[in-house]
Amino acid sequence: MAVAKKTKTARGRKQDRARVAGKQDYEVRYESKKTGKSSMAVKKAVKKVGNVRGNVEKKLARKK
């Protein structure tokens, strides 16, 4: 009996990469390491500008 394969679309993964989950430690650590900012700064940026990765990175880049 043949089992149907579950197909995964790229859409779900692409959308997931475009967001920063502020409550997921691994996502916060990744963004923190990528930008050179603290994890607390990343969490604050997510809370302030939302979870769109581009907006979070822009916010972190402006902070001095």
Mean pLDDT on 7-34: 83
Task: Locate 17 and state its tokens.
Answer: 């990469």
DSSP codes, 1-64: -PPPPPP--HHHHHHHHTB--TT-HHHHHHHHHHHT--HHHHHHHHHHH-SBHHHHHHHHHH--
| pLDDT(10) > 80 | no
Q: What tens digit of pLDDT does each residue of 23-61 get?
A: 999 999 999 999 999 999 999 999 999 999 999 999 999
**pTM score of the predicted model:** 0.74
